[in-house]
Structure 1
Amino acid sequence: MADVAAAAHVSTAAVSRVVNGVAGVSPETREHVRRVIDELGYRPDPAARALACGHGSVVELVVIDDAVTFGNSPYYGRVTAGILRELAGGDAQLRVHVVEKPDAAALLAKIADTVSVGVVLINVAPAMAAEFYARCDRVVSMGPCAPGVPFVDADNAEGAYAAVVHLRETGRRRIAALHGQEGNPCADARREGYRRAIRDLGLPEVSLIGKLRRAAGYELTVRLLAQEPDVDALFVGNDLMATGAMQALADAGRRVPQDVAVVGFDDSVIAGCMTPPLSSVHQPVEAMAAAATRALVEEQVTPHWRCVFPAVLQVRRSSAGPGQPDGSTGGGAVISPGSRADTAVADRRRR
């Protein structure tokens, strides 16, 4: 608004009257200011205007990633939906920032000085998150990031554990894993759950690491089949990566699940759209994002605050054994962490 006032050689109060349709400005001045607004491309920011008037509040969602990935990932859409669901009917608004790593520090510094309700963080590195939290304690991270920083999460390790045990119970003996990148807290926890299950079941560990992307799932599966042609099951770090893995299996002439069973992680909308439908560990992303938002709005966030949701395996045809029910047509066969997993390990120990 100050830029418009300077270019039009009028006061900011005059610009405000024009923008808000308030009397007190001559028709000539009003038309002149409107022309300058059009020339500059000025658009009022509803959230900023509400804050300036003292009757609004904003939840900031900060995602460190590139814009293309943000648009393609079901996870980000589910986070946004969960926040908006929690804010519905209230005065607070959502403002989304998608920023790549080189520009993240400057953005976070700016937000720390202007925050109102609070901030939800995604993919923020531990050191950066800790520095931000030292300046602004109204923050919740989607997934653990730095010691003391409040977070919401799913029980990734137990979900991965249940997935591996399920694959073993359907007769699979060479269970490989495609993990997400190291340093990603969710991917690290899922890798830990896979390794613990493999050890408990007395199976060899076969795994590769890459980004949680469709292309990585394809490339890693091609490499895996070349190195380990006798693999008969895959646990994949997320559903998006699993779609690439299943395409690579199809291109190699491997049938799912007859030759290779596949289980993903997230239970996003794409899981049920695959052919065959993809078994996947469900994490309630919308509920997690809503819980983070509710804690900020209700000022419940304290140091070391955390909220961890269970991660439950949803079995569909990509991994269902002969005669085993699956959830591909609704309802669903679910396996909770700590149920069949404990039984399988106990059976092995008795043997």
Structure 2
Amino acid sequence: MEAKKPTLEDVGRAAGVSRATASRVITGAHRVSTKTRNRVWHAVEELGYHPDLAARALAKGRTEVIDLVVIDDDATRVGSNPYYSRVVSGILSVLAGTDTQMRTHVIDEPEAPTRLDDVARTVGVGALLVNVPPALAARFSARCDRVVSLGHSAPGVPSIEADNAAGAIAAVEHLYRTGRRKVVAVHGKPNNSCAIGRRSGYSLASVEAGHEPIGAEGGFCLEAGVTGTQELLAAHPDLDGIFAACDLTAMGVLRALNESGRRVPDDVALVGFDDSFLASVATPAMTSVRQPVEHMAAMATRALLTGETSAHWQHVEPAPLQIRRSSAAA
């Protein structure tokens, strides 16, 4: 027999409050104490309660919209980047079966300040920010309080992120444990908060292992992986391990290594970040740090729909290492 789904009454009972109070917390109403709010959300998590978002939209008599806001230095790449596809998948997994729709804004980096102000004025239920620098996210949040940043952001901006530094540390430690002696990195963009965390983790783990951090500036794209690896091979031909800022970058690393005659993992071990489908279809299959993108996007969307977000809504998700053939022992 299928287990009975928890109800709002169950949530209120578990939290020691009335059904009405539980409802006010879940719908984001004001005048509920932080202590009560925390008890209710703890009960929601413990019971696995999911609000009936479709009923809410129907009761309001209108279609609602979640705004996905993406900044990229080349907006034409967004459709082909697996990271963005996973974000969309996570959002739609929550919106399925509701009257709430997704509206997408893809913004070229140079136009971001002006375009973000325009978007902030027209946000529907809430906005999910992707690749929006902390300063711009804070500015957006000041104009629209219904916002979550997917990735580390400015103080006071609700956010959810993977533990980028810890994931990078695990990757580098793994490479040195398998016998590698010179592990270098192809980094993401210097001003990207996720890339900053991964760069920091790589550097910390390298120093801890007794090695100098060596990296090439790159980005979250295949081309950056190719050019960064070529640069590193020219300067450090004895390298035998590479940590790439993301799986797409790692695919570029793999291409450059193959073109140089280096074999993976025999000559050079490789670890990516994201654990996207690219990691499993690469040849050899790629070790990668798991970033739960779909889960994070879904959690952010649910928080926006239920009005759960506040300046203190900050979540950091684990980023475990998924070991495959590309980092086999030397």
TM-score (norm 1): 0.75
Spell out the pairing of 1:221-300 with structure 2 (5 A cutoff): 221-300=229-308
Displacement of 1:125 in angstroms is: 2.3
- Supply the distance in 1 between the matched residues of 2:223 and 2:140 (Cα, whole angstroms): 33
Q: Which amino acid aligns with 2:121?
A: D
Displacement of 1:208 in angstroms is: 1.2
- Supply the distance in 2 between the matched residues of 1:113 and 1:183 (Cα, whole angstroms): 26
| Root mean square deviation of aligned Cα | 1.6
- The unaligned stretches of length 5 or more in structure 2 are 1-56
Pick the aligned partner of 1:201 from 190, 204, 209.
209
Contact 2:219 2:245 (C-alpha < 8 Å) held by counterparts: no
Q: Which runs of 4+ in 1 moved over 4 A?
A: none
Which residue of structure 1 aligns with residue 63 of structure 2? 56
Contact 2:290 2:321 (C-alpha < 8 Å) held by counterparts: yes
Which residue of structure 1 aligns with residue 311 of structure 2? 303
- The superposition leaves residues 54-108 of structure 1 with CA deviations (integer Å, 9 ceiling, x where unpaired) of 5111000011123321012100000000000011112211111111134333433
Instruction: Please state if 1:81 is matched with 2:81.
Output: no
Which residue of structure 2 aligns with residue 143 of structure 1? 151
Matched residue of 1:81: which SS? helix
TM-score (norm 2): 0.79
Which residue of structure 2 aligns with residue 175 of structure 1? 183
- Supply the distance in 1 between the matched residues of 2:327 and 2:286 (Cα, whole angstroms): 8
Task: Among all aligned residue pairs of Structure 1 and Structure 2, give the percentage whose two residues are the same amino acid.
Answer: 53
Displacement of 1:131 in angstroms is: 1.4
- Supply the distance in 1 between the matched residues of 2:80 and 2:122 (Cα, whole angstroms): 30
- The unaligned stretches of length 5 or more in structure 1 are 1-49, 323-351
- Supply the distance in 1 between the matched residues of 2:114 and 2:233 (Cα, whole angstroms): 44
Identify the range of structure 1 (179-188 vs 95-104) with the bigger mean alpha-carbon deviation. 95-104
Which residue of structure 1 aligns with residue 163 of structure 2? 155
- The superposition leaves residues 225-253 of structure 1 with CA deviations (integer Å, 9 ceiling, x where unpaired) of 11101101001101111111111111111
- Supply the distance in 2 between the matched residues of 1:182 and 1:154 (Cα, whole angstroms): 18
- Supply the distance in 1 between the matched residues of 2:268 and 2:276 (Cα, whole angstroms): 21
Displacement of 1:122 in angstroms is: 1.0
Which residue of structure 1 aligns with residue 33 of structure 2? none
Matched residue of 2:127: which SS? strand
- Supply the distance in 1 between the matched residues of 2:109 and 2:211 (Cα, whole angstroms): 39
Paired residues in the alignment total: 272
Q: Which amino acid aligns with 2:129?
A: L
Spell out the pairing of 1:209-228 with structure 2 (5 A cutoff): 209-228=217-236
Q: Which amino acid aligns with 2:312?
A: H
Pick the aligned partner of 2:103 from 95, 101, 105.
95
